[in-house]
Amino acid sequence: MKMNKVAVIGVGLTKFGELWDQSFSDLFVEAGANAIVDAGIDGKDIDAIYLGNMSGGRFIEQEHMASLISDQAGLNPAPATRIEAACASGGLAVRQGVIAVASGMHDVVVVGGVEKMTDITSERVTQTLITAADQEWEAFLGMTFPGVYALIARRHMHEFGTTREQLAAVSVKNHANAKDNPHAQFRFDVTVEQVLGSTMVADPLTLLDCSPITDGAACIVLASPEKAKEFTDSPVYITGAGQATSTIALHDRERITVSDATINAAKAAYKMAGKGPEDIDVAEVHDCFTIAELLAIEGLGFCEIGEGGPFTEEGSTARGGKISVNTSGGLKAKGHPVGATGVAQVVEVVLQLRGEAGKRQVDADVGLTHNVGGSGGTAAVHILEK
């Protein structure tokens, strides 16, 4: 099924990191203001707001946050809707914004994602994040997300011969990219030896295999092609959108080393855009742990299932490689404010397609974003073109 094209006419970000001096509302308002200025629109042009947020209720004890955000941003009475799908909340918010514009319901919408994660202890953050897993059979028995992905990593190593060095290569690459991203949380290089020697979290995953706890917000402005012409001569278009669902618990999956939701979401997005994996120049994929990036590039069709380790190790996913993956630094080094991640991925790809990514710029005409909820229960994929 072909979709009416939807233009991205504005993007905005906050810094990602431990942002002690900014509140939840502050973060969204900053990212939203940056996107609105970038788009060159006025608040009265905005028809609707879609907000990705995983768990404001647990992180900051705030629910009804769509109303809060609209109010704080001065955008009342525009309808505002919160979207929740664990770490894929931002990606699904983008999808809902795309549907709203493509359907003709609205001409201009703001899509944001925000999470304030550092105001509670690391233990409570871990407990909050594991609510995205099966509570009865995983969380209740003491499983954490590092533990879930460690099981996947061990099985991937067993089935395909993936090595610890290949997992570490993901971290090394993404830190190198983040070093050139002024919004990234961790702007420094790491080596394979440092990744392997860092504190063990859940065997085989060490601290430097894991994405951090992060505050931050991201925002984009979407418009119909006709409306976009009023504000920009060079919009980036979202031409494909796919979403798929898989089992929430690992034990219900046929194979834990394959992300069915990613594969099915990608198929839908590729078909809608009339593209294939070979057409993608730059991709922002969900690398909450280093093993997750391998599952992503395999499920998206950039390499064969089981070949993600060698594909990464040989430099195929580096900037300027066969396909540039996570030029922003990814969740691993840019940071992972869970509700904002899917929107921030779109921001990075738009900057790349516009030629505005600075030192991390690559040659790109077609980009892709890939956002996952939990260990693969939800996936959202978007295709973007100049």
Task: Supply the residues annotated as catalytic.
Answer: 87, 336
Please provide the size of the chain in residues: 386
DSSP 67-86: HHHHHHTT-TTS-EEEE-BT
Q: Are 374 and 286 in contact (CB under 8 A)?
A: no
Tell me, what amino acid is at 107?
Answer: D
Choose among 114, 98, 109, 106: nearest CA to 19: 114
Q: How far is residue 122 CA from its own chain's centroid? A: 21
In angstroms, the CA 259 to CA 298 distance is 9
DSSP state of 103: T
Q: Measure the N-to-C terminal CA separation of the chain; round to a whole number of Å.
A: 21
Query: Helix H segments across the chain?
Result: 24-39, 56-59, 65-72, 89-102, 122-129, 145-160, 164-178, 192-197, 225-228, 260-273, 290-299, 308-313, 330-333, 341-354
35 — phi, psi (to 5°)? -70, -40
Strand-strand pairing, 236-245 and 6-13: antiparallel
| 184 half-sphere exposure, CB direction, 13 A CA radius | 27
Burial class from Cβ neighbours inside 10 Å (0-12, 13-18, 19+) for residue 188 reads exposed
Give the max Cα distance, the chain. Answer: 56
Q: Residue 39: count other Cβ atoms within 10 Å of its Cβ.
A: 27
DSSP state of 354: H
322 — phi, psi (to 5°)? -55, -45
